[in-house]
Amino acid sequence: MVGNDASCVAQLPTGGSNSRLQVSDAHLIAAAPLLLDVCKNLNALLENNLIVTADGFKINDADLRESLLDAILRAEGYRRNPDSP
């Protein structure tokens, strides 16, 4: 599997019953840098804004921000399990 910058991001074994799963895993691995960037951008937006529905209700997004930050820290190797500070 080749990344956007032509680097090899995953090498898949050929054949076998798990080859379809391995291909989908490789796609996820290849998309990981983009997914991390999206998470970071979304986290930055949520830190500086309120979520307001079309009906004018304000949504408490603290849990969403906490989940995003946890995912970002894990992706960057700072947090390895849910109990890490």
Q: What is the pLDDT of residues 43-78, one digit of tens each?
A: 888 887 777 888 988 888 888 888 899 999 888 888
% the chain with pLDDT above 90: 11
DSSP state at residue 59: E
Distances from the Cα of 53 to the Cαs of 8, 44, 79, in angstroms? 42, 19, 32
Helix%, strand%, coil% for the chain, nearest 5:
50, 5, 40
Rounded to two decimals, what is the model's pTM?
A: 0.57
Distances from the Cα of 22 to the Cαs of 4, 13, 28, 29, in angstroms? 19, 8, 10, 10
* Of 23 and 33, more confident: 33
Amino acid, single-letter form, for residue 5? D
